[in-house]
Every structure is written in C-alpha cells, then in structure tokens.
Amino acid sequence: MLRPLYAALGVLTVGFAMLVTSSAYGQVHSRVHPVPAVLKQIIASFDNPEGSIFSADGRFVFVTSAAELGPSRSDGFAWGEGESYISKLEVLASGELKMVNDKLITGLTGGVGMGVLPVDTATFPAGTIFACLPHAPLRDADGQVITDRNRMRSKLLAFNTDGQTLGEIDMGHGSLFEEINGTPVLIPNAIGFDASGNLFVTDTALAGGQFDPPFENKGGVWMIPAGAIDDLAAGRRPAQPPVFLPVPGKPDGVEVSHLDGKVYINTVGLAAGAPDPIGGGIYALTMENFQTGDVPPPIDRDLGALDGLDFTRGGTMLNTQIRGGMPSHLTVNCPGKTASVLAIEPGGSAADLSGPADIAIRQLADGSHLVVIPELMARDDTPGDDEVSVVVLPPDFDAACE
C-alpha cells in the first residue's frame, strides 16, 4: 500500500508471454498462472488510491485516496495533511462498481489500507471498517515539510458503511504504541483481522527522520488483542497491551488466511530504497511468533516489492508488485506453492497497471471473484482522475491450483 519513495514505476501490459527479471536479485518468478483474469472496469475518479475493501455483506466497496502531493507542492513523495478521503461505491448485479459518494469521509491524512471487524465488541459492531491513516512522510498545504512531533498523529479510524465515524485508535506521538516501542507507528499500512477479532497492522516505518528530533524507523507488525480494541479507542490502557514483532524488509500488506488462520505479510523495502533480505517476499506468522519474537523463514521471496495482498475463497493468495524498474503486476500464490504471474485479458493498454496497491477480493454467486485494484502511481497536480481497475477471476481460478 505504499508506493516507491521518489521513484517512478514502469507500466506493464500483462500477457502470457511475460518474463520478469531483476538484475540485482536474479530472476523473479516468471511462470504465468494458467487461468487469466478478465478486465471488467476502470474507474478514473480518485487521488492516488491506495486501499480498497468490500463491506462485510459485499454490497459496497470503499477506496482510500492517499492524496499524494503533486510536483507543484512537493519535490518528493509526501502526503498532504488533511487531504486524504474515502470513497464509497456500490457493487452492481453485473459486478461493475457504481460511485455512491466520491468523498464519503474527508479531512484525513494518508489513507491507505483497511480491514473489516468480524465480531462485535462493546464499542464497535461487526462489520465496522478500520482504516490506516499514516502521518509520514507529511507536508502542509503549502508543501512545507512538517517537523513538529505533535503533528505525528498516525491512527486507525473506525467507521460504518454510512460513513459515520465510530472511533479511532491513536498510534502517533505520545501514544501507548510509542511507549511500548520507543517510536510511534509511522506508517500503519494495512490491517488484517482473525476470526476472533484480533487486529494485525503493519508499520512500514519510513520518514521518521523528518521530525525534530527524529523518530526511529522500526518496521514490523503489531498484534492488537480483540479485548484491547475498545480500551485503546477510549484512550485507556488495556489489560492485554499490543505486541510488536520486528520484521525486516519493510512489511506492507497483511491478511489472515481463513483456511489456516496464519497471518501473512509481505515486504516492500526494495521500492523504498530500504534493505530487504528476502528481496520482496512473504512471511506466514502464528500467534506463537508474537509470543517468542521470532520471524519464521519466508514462504516465498525475490518477488520485487510487494504491496497489497488478499485471498480468494479457495485460499489462493494474490500480491501486488510495485518495484520501479520491474513491471507492475499481481502474483498468484496457490496454497503451498511459490508465486506465478496473473495474466489479465484483454491485452493492450486496457491491461496496464500503474502501481497496483491494496487489493480487495470478493467471491460472487457464480463462483467467480471480483478483484478491486487501486492504482496509486500517478503523481501529478490533477487530483480526482487516478484509476481503480476491477478484474474478474473466473470460477475455475482456484481449481487451477490443484
């Protein structure tokens, strides 16, 4: 959900003949998944869209526009303070998306990944959507770098499908998260929930040096116990505090598999000029890892720079690749297997992806899956014209993994 800092990405026409290589990290997986996706729709109505999520009932899709500043106000990658927003779209019977409210929630900063709470808490009903709002790298309305630590107000925002704000969890300067880890959560980037309502959020941890004095960049993933969510939202110290697990390589996407209950995260470090020992890979974590502080070996690696991830109903995992100098594409991880490349038909410019970010996947009644792909790459001074692509995975997509 975070695009390359200060770097431009190439645009890819995805096809069956594609071969992806990386001179620095050797050949990246080049096998193509045997069942292609079909492009259904391109919606050009956003401002650096980064995150997407289906509502719990599948009727709506929500998209965060991170509102990256254009070159007239910033000479590098930065979010505009208070300029991000969340859009609401309806899922039609045809599978296409229809805009309901292009600015359902406004006045946000750096909106990126989202997740849906699966169970009730005392404060939040099941179906509540939580959105990540990072505050680094950050500039003001005039494009000036913000150095005041007190404006480092990263948080998780909770809202319902009508756009009503239900609460928030402070992760910024002075929060419990800073007390635990010695630094605030700089870039809460993606959210995943397990079936019990435990919340997992990645911190990609970049740009802490812009503040005075600087914050330390500590990349990793937080586990927030389900029983702590209400207390944190109320500003109370929970009986079970959040737990931080350091992960190398700048973790970005996170999702919990409904098949095995493991917490899957991917790494994006190569896109941000940060070292990544696995060259863009995927880890599968269990609760034991949060207890011991140990990170297991990756289940896949050398994929470039991975951003968003999600699962089909059959357990197939899709990741997005956004490293500059490599084609932007989606990878497919069948359960227990290494990645292949997702082809999208038809070819030509209609299949181009420009910085695919935090995808959302939903199975339809006919067994096919809709995949919503925010494309965050456009860095310009014309907000409101950036794209979200919608593709369909045919009903036999998961069966091709067998």
DSSP string, 191-254: EEE-TT--EEEEE----GGGSBSPPP---EEEEE-GGGHHHHHTTPPPSS--EEEE-TT-EEEE
Q: How confident is the model at residue 60 (pLDDT cuts 50, 70, 90)?
A: very high
Q: Tell me the pLDDT of the chain averaged across its residues.
A: 90
Give the span between the Cα atoms of 9 and 399, in whole angstroms. 33
Q: Is the pLDDT of residue 25 over 60?
A: no
Question: Which spans in 221-340 are helix H?
Answer: 229-233, 287-292
Which DSSP category does 145 fall into? B
Residue 4 lies in a domain: no
Q: Could you give the angle at the alpha carbon of 133 between the alpha carbons of 255 and 283, nearest 5°? A: 25
Residue 141: its pLDDT value, please? 87
Radius of gyration, alpha carbons of the chain: 19
Q: Which residues, including other chains, have CB under 8 Å from residue 307's CB and lie 6 or more apart?
A: 1, 2, 3, 252, 253, 266, 268, 271, 319, 320, 321, 322, 356, 357, 358
Out of 62-76, 100-114, 382-396, pick the least confident: 62-76
Q: How many helical (H) and strand (E) elements, i.e. helices and strands, does the chain have?
A: 3, 28
Q: Is the pLDDT of residue 3 over 70?
A: no
Q: Which residue has the higher pLDDT, 337 or 83?
A: 83
Structure tokens at 67: 């509102």
Q: How confident is the model at residue 18 (pLDDT cuts 50, 70, 90)?
A: very low
Structure tokens at 91: 């899922």
Give the span between the Cα atoms of 264 and 192, in whole angstroms. 9
Residue 232 lies in a domain: yes
Out of 7-16, 237-246, 263-272, 364-373, pick the least confident: 7-16
Residue 226 lies in a domain: yes
Residue 3 lies in a domain: no
Residue 29: its pLDDT value, please? 63
Residue 348: its pLDDT value, please? 43
CATH number, residue 269: 2.120.10.30
Residue 216 lies in a domain: yes
| pLDDT above 90: percentage of residues in the chain | 79
Of the candidates 90, 95, 114, which has an alpha carbon nearest to the alpha carbon of residue 370?
95
Q: How far is CA 234 from the centre of its chain?
A: 26
Phi, psi of 189 (to 5 degrees): -110, -35
Q: Tell me, yes or no, if the pTM score tops 0.85.
A: yes
Instruction: Give the C-alpha distances (Å, rounded to integers) separating 195 from 14, 15, 239, 261.
Output: 35, 37, 21, 8
Residue 338 lies in a domain: yes
Signed CA dihedral, 357, 49, 350, 71: sign only:
negative
Give the span between the Cα atoms of 313 and 362, in whole angstroms. 8
Residue 119: its pLDDT value, please? 98
Q: How far is CA 303 from the centre of its chain?
A: 17
Phi, psi of 400 (to 5 degrees): -70, -15
Domain ranges, residue 133:
21-401
Residue 380 lies in a domain: yes
Q: Which residues, including other chains, have CB under 8 Å from residue 23's CB and lie 6 or more apart?
A: none
Q: What is the pLDDT of residues 349-396, one digit of tens each?
A: 335 788 899 999 999 999 999 999 999 876 677 888 999 999 999 999
Q: Which region, left, alpha or beta, applies to residue 143 given φ > 0 means left and ψ of -120 to 50 means alpha?
A: left
What total number of domains does the chain contain? 1
CB-based contact 154:184 (threshold 8 Å) = yes
Residue 157 lies in a domain: yes
Give the span between the Cα atoms of 374 and 388, in whole angstroms. 4
